[in-house]
Structure 1
C-alpha cells in the first residue's frame, strides 16, 4: 500500500513539531517522494545523523518488509 504525502508529513511533524516540511511526489505513484525538512533539532549534527532522525520518524515505513514507501530523496538543514 502506497503512502500519501500528507501521511509522510504528519509522521515527520510528530518528531519535529517546529519544522518546515515540504513533500513532493516525484513519480505520481505514491512510492517515490522528495522531502525537505528544516529543523532546529538538526543543529550541530552531521547530514547522516539528520537523515537517520527523519527515517526514524517514519517508523519503519521505508523498511522493505512494510513496502509502504519505496524511495525518499531527502534534504535536511537547520533554519537560517
Structure 2
C-alpha cells in the first residue's frame, strides 16, 4: 500500500482540512487536521482515523500506524512552535 492510497481513503471517509501520510511497506505515519476532531480526546481522534482503515489493518496491508490528529487551531499552534 502506498501513502497516497491511505491519504485518498482518509480524505474520502473523513472531513479533513489536511491529511499527510508518510512511510513505506506497511508502516505509516498519519497527520490529520480537521474540525471534526474538536472536543474529542486523543484516543477518540485516533479511533476516528483508524475506522476507515480497519480492513487494511486486518489484512496486514497496514501493520503499524502512527497517528497525530489535530483541530485546525491545534495544528496552527504545532506549526507555530515547530513541534512537528
Fold conserved between structures, TM > 0.5: yes
Q: Does 1:37 align with 2:32?
A: yes
| Pairs aligned (count) | 73
Pairwise CA RMSD: 1.3
> Which of the two has greater helix per residue?
2
What TM-score do you get using the length of structure 2 for normalisation?
0.79
2:41 counterpart (9, 21, 46)? 46
Matched with 2:14 is 16
Unaligned runs of 5+ in 2: 74-84
Unaligned runs of 5+ in 1: none
What TM-score do you get using the length of structure 1 for normalisation?
0.82
Q: How big is each residue's C-alpha offset from its partner over 1:22-54, in whole Å with a ceiling of 9 and x where there is no partner? A: 1111xx4x2111110011101001110111111
Cα separation, 2, equivalents of 1:72 and 1:46 = 18
